[in-house]
Amino acid sequence: MRPLAIPVEVALADLPRSAGSPLFERLRASVDRVNRRTPLPHEAARWHTHTLGGVERRFAQPITFTPYASVKPCSARCSFCSENLRKADGGTPASRLRPAPDYFDGLSRALQALRGVPLSWSLSGLETSDDADWMLRLLQVLAASESHGPLVEDRVLYTNGAGFAAPQGEVLRRALQTFGLSWLELSRHHHDGATNQTIMRFRPEVAVGDQAVFERTARQLADAVPLRLVCILQRGGVAQPQDVVAYLSWAGQCGAGTVVFREFSRLDDGYRDNATARYLRAERVSMDALLAACLDDREVSRDWTLESLTEGYYFWNLRLRTASGLAVVFESADYGAMHERHATGDVYKLVYFADGRLCAGWEPGHDVLLDTRIEQAQTHA
């Protein structure tokens, strides 16, 4: 289901905490529409009821399904990576789980159990492309499921590009075209290669860490699928209006049709005070402050056209367009709002982990909707 354009006064009645900023209030008078991706509790037409694991549940529309990639440690070691956050209540983090040999059998069973549920593929986790053979098998299984499983709208991959600059890069690009990828979100957190390396910290053997290799890889990807470049705002990286201008100019040269600037996700008190949480506090750049500074600087924003605001179940963003036609998104997210939504018992997110469990969120073992290991055992009993 496409995001619905609705009157602003209706949208504001049920915004997540992250959308309650003064900047949002300012922007809503300057855009043509507000898109609400999250259904109100009483909007029956925007909920899909489906029985999963013997339990009838409500699935928000739209909703995405993530087969969490964790075959091996990520090729980058970003200090801000949310996969390194740890919940205070313990549990094995998703990034530490490795798929068993029968992983894809379990994934197929989970997808069959979702037969008829409208959703979109959202391929992420660690780095999906780090293991090309695993990624190719994943695409095959997902594509095969579309004839007897969920009803799929969009197909999106989030990646740092490592596998596409490796020997099987061309094979992966062709596979994405065959898969019908809607767009690819390619992470690069600064337009200067050396600065980006201090942020993403690619392992020495990973070719895409090199600036020239990355730029060539990005252009190759842009020739194959719609390309969005993603930049996470932070001190020492993109932090000032002039940084935004420079990044946008460079992104256009790389073939991107869209650039997404994201703020570090805001945390609630459910996380341990580890190195990642401390990095987020110390290096945060406020998206509200940076975007306001850009909008107030006529030299930066005079050719920008503000198009829309979108509110999701734990994020909000502004979409605009530059004079060159480049789409630009500024986005803020709030994990506290996300956890509040998950606690309602309705399903806003689907994640299939390497341990064979399908969950309604990003924490393995929490909000388990289906355990394919149990399903398999019962089948063979």
CA angle 278, 280, 281 (to 5 degrees): 65
Within 10 Å of residue 26's Cβ, how many Cβ atoms? 13
What is the rounded CA–CA span in Å between residue 54 and residue 375?
Answer: 12
Residues in Cβ contact with 237 at an 8 Å cutoff, skipping those fewer than 6 apart: 189, 190, 195, 196, 199, 231, 243, 285
Name the nearest CA neighbour of 165 among 229, 226, 224, 216: 216
Reported as a single tens digit per residue, the pLDDT across 4-21 is 222 333 333 344 544 457
The helix (H) or strand (E) run that includes residue 335 is helix 335-342
The better pLDDT of the pair 196, 373 is held by: 196
Q: What is the pLDDT of residue 21?
A: 74
Q: Let me know how long the chain is.
A: 381
- Domain range list for the chain: 4-380
User: pLDDT at residue 259 above 70?
Assistant: yes
CATH top class, domain 4-380: alpha beta
The better pLDDT of the pair 369, 35 is held by: 369
User: pLDDT at residue 313 above 50?
Assistant: yes
Q: Which two tokens stand for residue 318?
A: 């502004």
Query: Is there a contact between 179 and 143 (Cβ–Cβ < 8 Å)?
Result: yes
Question: 3-state SS of 254-270?
Answer: CCCCEEEEECCCECCCC
The better pLDDT of the pair 59, 91 is held by: 59
Q: What is the pLDDT of residue 375?
A: 63
Average pLDDT, the chain: 92
Reported as a single tens digit per residue, the pLDDT across 201-245 is 999 999 999 999 999 999 999 999 999 999 999 999 999 999 999
The answer to whether the predicted template modeling score (pTM) of the entire model surpasses 0.75 is yes
Q: What is the pLDDT of residue 378?
A: 56
379 pLDDT band, cuts 50/70/90, is: low
Query: Is there a contact between 360 and 348 (Cβ–Cβ < 8 Å)?
Result: yes
Residue 88, judged by CB atoms within 10 A of its CB (0-12, 13-18, 19+), counts as exposed
Q: What is the average per-residue pLDDT within 295-313?
A: 94
Q: What is the pLDDT of residue 272?
A: 94
Strand, helix or coil for residue 27: helix
Q: How far is CA 133 from CA 99, 127, 137, 267, in A?
A: 13, 13, 6, 35
The better pLDDT of the pair 42, 2 is held by: 42
φ, ψ at 319 (rounded to 5°): -115, 135
Name the nearest CA neighbour of 355 among 135, 115, 103: 103
- Cis link prior to 3 (omega < 30° from 0)? no
Reported as a single tens digit per residue, the pLDDT across 349-375 is 999 999 999 999 999 999 999 999 886
Strands (E), 29-182: 33-36, 47-52, 55-60, 64-67, 118-123, 151-159
Q: What is the pLDDT of residue 33?
A: 86
φ, ψ at 165 (rounded to 5°): -105, 5
Strands (E), the chain: 4-6, 33-36, 47-52, 55-60, 64-67, 118-123, 151-159, 183-187, 227-232, 258-262, 305-311, 315-321, 327-333, 350-352, 357-359, 368-371
Reported as a single tens digit per residue, the pLDDT across 101-117 is 999 999 999 999 999 99
Query: Is there a contact between 314 and 16 (Cβ–Cβ < 8 Å)?
Result: yes
Q: Which two tokens stand for residue 320?
A: 């605009």
Q: What is the average per-residue pLDDT within 159-178?
A: 98
Q: What is the pLDDT of residue 377?
A: 57
Q: Which residue(s) pair with 184 in the sheet?
A: 157, 227
Reported as a single tens digit per residue, the pLDDT across 274-301 is 999 999 999 999 999 999 999 999 999 9
Q: Which two tokens stand for residue 347?
A: 């399903």
376 pLDDT band, cuts 50/70/90, is: low
Residues in Cβ contact with 12 at an 8 Å cutoff, skipping those fewer than 6 apart: 28, 34
Strand, helix or coil for residue 176: helix
